[in-house]
Amino acid sequence: MRKLLQGISLLMLVLTVLLPLLYLFDMVSESAMKTNILIVTVLWFVITPLWARREKETTTGNP
């Protein structure tokens, strides 16, 4: 599950870079780019904390 979430998170980051490039080359409209970047950003902020949580430490810290 963690690997799947990491893959989705990476895809969202790639899309945040790809969408403006598509707009630059007139492949998407400005409103479509803005809407999709908003959606991708929200998804990234929702998904990333799910896999980025620290694992619980099993040691007490004593040597």
Range of the domain at 18: 2-48
pLDDT bin (cut points 50, 70, 90) of residue 48 is very high
| Position 31 in a domain | yes
pLDDT in tens, 13-47: 999 999 999 999 999 999 999 999 999 999 999 99
* pTM of the predicted protein model: 0.77
Total domains in the chain come to 1
| Position 60 in a domain | no
Tell the burial category of 49 from Cβ atoms under 10 Å away from its Cβ (0-12, 13-18, 19+): exposed
Supply the DSSP symbol for 55.
Answer: P
What angle, 0 to 180 degrees and rounded to 10, lies between the N-to-C axes of helices 30-52 and 2-24? Answer: 160
Q: Under DSSP, is residue 57 helix (H, G, I), strand (E, B) or coil?
A: coil
| Position 59 in a domain | no
Question: Does the pLDDT of residue 56 top 90, yes or no?
Answer: no
